[in-house]
Amino acid sequence: MKRWDVVVIGGGVAGSTAADLLSDECSVLLLDPDPSNKTCAGILTADYTRKYGVDKSYIERTLKGVKIYYRENEVIIPYTKNTIEYSINRKLFDTYNLNQALDSGAEYRAWSAEDLVETGDCVKVKTSEHTIYADYVIVASGLSEFSQRIAPVKTIGYCAQKRVDGVIDDYFQIHFGYHKGYTWLSPKSTYSLVGSGSPDGYPDIPLYAAGFVTPLEGEGIYYARRSAELAAETILDNCSHSVKGFEKKWRSEFNFTPYQIYKKIASESSEFNFTPYQIYKKIASESATKALITELQRNDRLKTFIEALLTKKDLCKTDYLKILPVLLKIGVLSYFTQP
Ligand SMILES: Cc1cc2nc3c(=O)[nH]c(=O)nc-3n(C[C@H](O)[C@H](O)[C@H](O)COP(=O)(O)OP(=O)(O)OC[C@H]3O[C@@H](n4cnc5c(N)ncnc54)[C@H](O)[C@@H]3O)c2cc1C
């Protein structure tokens, strides 16, 4: 029975990236029964395009910006020439990434992983077809039943998405204010994807659990690819505590929850007597969203700041300090407008 250096479970962007990077130096087997069938709005963000570039085979549309709505209020954030975002065909994108891994020498089987057992000197992977053995296993199976069994997540958001004919324009739309989550419209070549996500789920429609995404804008493809790079690096470093090593790299790079953003804002200004948690609670509330959108419409500085946050431009301490009074004003406004 062949023993693999690495078995990768899952052929989404994370699994294919890890398999691609490791195949030069290791024997790699990638497992996925259904690698190109994802629920995704398919927005390839500026983070991704700047770092990894794109292949035209999967691009559906070049986006001009984002439109954010709070009920009847609209804020248009056009992209600058340095911010290039695309609306992509997720199926073609996943196929492209998987082919890159296969071209680099990874082998692929359409098997489903069913169980993992660490045996001391290797890992035993029980699959739908055979039991296989590996020195390392990368679990890149998204938010699947299998991942839930290996490393359960505590908080799950739910979403549903539908394809509709036609395209309104070249802007990605995000709508807040109708339920606890938000709704999006993603323009493709001749059709659009309309979706909605909520922390509570919906009683009448099929539910899809959202994958690994940033809380600010729902971006996940960049983070899946980057975390797979960190996993591959950790294996190539050959360190004895690979899981801890990966986790350390991962945590130091993905320090991005809204709470941490507001903590950073607060820690950089001691003049204001607001604890980070108070700011976070205010900003996260529905009335704060309304106040934020209203303020966005008349405050160019806030608009530039939010655009920089959304497009991950490097923000320095002065940028946070400049925006702090506006955020506090929103906090105060929303406090007085709470239902
Ligand atoms: C509705 C929605 C919209 C989104 N929109 C965007 C967006 O516009 N832009 C963006 O950047 N991100 C978006 N995301 C997030 C993005 O889709 C995910 O972050 C990304 O797909 C995660 O990649 P992954 O490779 O980790 O997992 P996935 O892409 O989920 O891939 C996991 C793979 O594992 C396989 N698998 C599962 N179980 C097993 C098993 N037992 N054995 C073998 N294989 C298995 C699956 O078949 C799948 O192919 C969205 C997410 C959702 C839910």
pLDDT in tens, 146-196: 988 888 876 666 788 999 999 999 999 988 766 666 789 999 999 999 998
User: Residue 147 falls within a domain, yes or no?
Assistant: no
Q: Give the per-residue pLDDT at 332.
A: 60
If you measure from the C-alpha of residue 12 to the centroid of ligand 1, how many angstroms do you get, rounded to a whole number?
6
d(CA 191, CA 237): 45
For 13-45, the pLDDT digits (tens) are 999 999 999 999 999 999 999 998 888 999 998
Q: Give the per-residue pLDDT at 334.
A: 54
User: Residue 321 falls within a domain, yes or no?
Assistant: yes
Q: Which of 97, 71, 276 is nearest to 176 (CA)?
A: 71
Nearest residue (by CA) to ligand 1, atom 17, is: 40
Q: Which of 198, 169, 221 is nearest to 65 (CA)?
A: 169
For 121-141, the pLDDT digits (tens) are 899 999 999 999 999 999 999
Residues near 62 by beta carbon (within 8 Å), at least 6 away in sequence:
84, 85, 86, 87, 170
Residue 34 in contact with ligand 1 by CB distance below 6 A:
yes
Residue 232 in contact with ligand 1 by CB distance below 6 A:
no
Q: Give the per-residue pLDDT at 330.
A: 67
* Nearest atom (ligand 1) to Cα of 227: 26
**What integer is the mean pLDDT of 112-123?**
92
* Nearest atom (ligand 1) to Cα of 113: 42
Q: Give the per-residue pLDDT at 138.
A: 95
User: Torsion-angle region of residue 201: left (phi > 0), alpha (psi -120 to 50) or beta?
Assistant: left
Q: Give the per-residue pLDDT at 13.
A: 95
CA distances from 43 to 104, 170, 310 (A): 26, 12, 13
User: Residue 133 falls within a domain, yes or no?
Assistant: no
The boundaries of the domain holding residue 306 are 258-336
Q: In what order do the strands lie in the sheet with 191-198?
A: 73-78, 65-70, 171-176, 182-187, 191-198, 158-165, 208-209
Q: Is the pLDDT of residue 202 over 70?
A: no
Q: Give the per-residue pLDDT at 155.
A: 65
Name the residue of 139, 213, 229 to mutate for ligand 1: max ligand atoms within 8 A of Cβ: 213
If you measure from the C-alpha of residue 209 to the centroid of ligand 1, how many angstroms do you get, rounded to a whole number?
10
User: Residue 175 falls within a domain, yes or no?
Assistant: no
CA count, 13 A, side-chain hemisphere, 70: 15
pTM of the prediction?
Answer: 0.83
The lowest-confidence range among 215-219, 235-239, 259-263 is 259-263
User: Residue 284 falls within a domain, yes or no?
Assistant: yes
Q: Which of 206, 243, 212 is nearest to 225 (CA)?
A: 212
Q: Is the pLDDT of residue 269 over 50?
A: no
Name the residue of 13, 31, 40 to mutate for ligand 1: max ligand atoms within 8 A of Cβ: 40
User: Residue 112 falls within a domain, yes or no?
Assistant: no
**What integer is the mean pLDDT of 241-256?**
77
* Nearest atom (ligand 1) to Cα of 220: 19
Residue 254 in contact with ligand 1 by CB distance below 6 A:
no
Share of the chain above pLDDT 70, in %: 74
Q: Give the per-residue pLDDT at 274.
A: 46
What is the rounded average pLDDT for all residues in the chain?
Answer: 81
For 51-108, the pLDDT digits (tens) are 999 999 999 999 998 888 877 777 787 887 777 889 999 999 999 999 999 999 999 9
d(CA 326, CA 299): 9
Q: Which of 210, 237, 221 is nearest to 86 (CA)?
A: 221
Total of domains in the chain: 1
d(CA 137, CA 238): 13
Q: Is the pLDDT of residue 144 over 50?
A: yes
Degrees, nearest 5: CA angle 329-335-338: 135
Q: Is the pLDDT of residue 316 over 90?
A: no
User: Residue 262 falls within a domain, yes or no?
Assistant: yes
What H or E segment, with its residue span, contains residue 290? helix 286-298
Q: In what order do the strands lie in the sheet with 59-62?
A: 43-44, 86-88, 59-62
Name the residue of 141, 222, 310 to mutate for ligand 1: max ligand atoms within 8 A of Cβ: 141
Q: Name the range with the highest mean pLDDT among 172-176, 199-203, 217-221.
A: 172-176
Q: Which of 10, 71, 2, 39 is nearest to 227 (CA)?
A: 10
User: Bigger pLDDT: 144 or 241?
Assistant: 144
User: Residue 4 falls within a domain, yes or no?
Assistant: no
Q: Give the per-residue pLDDT at 292.
A: 72
**What integer is the mean pLDDT of 204-220?**
57
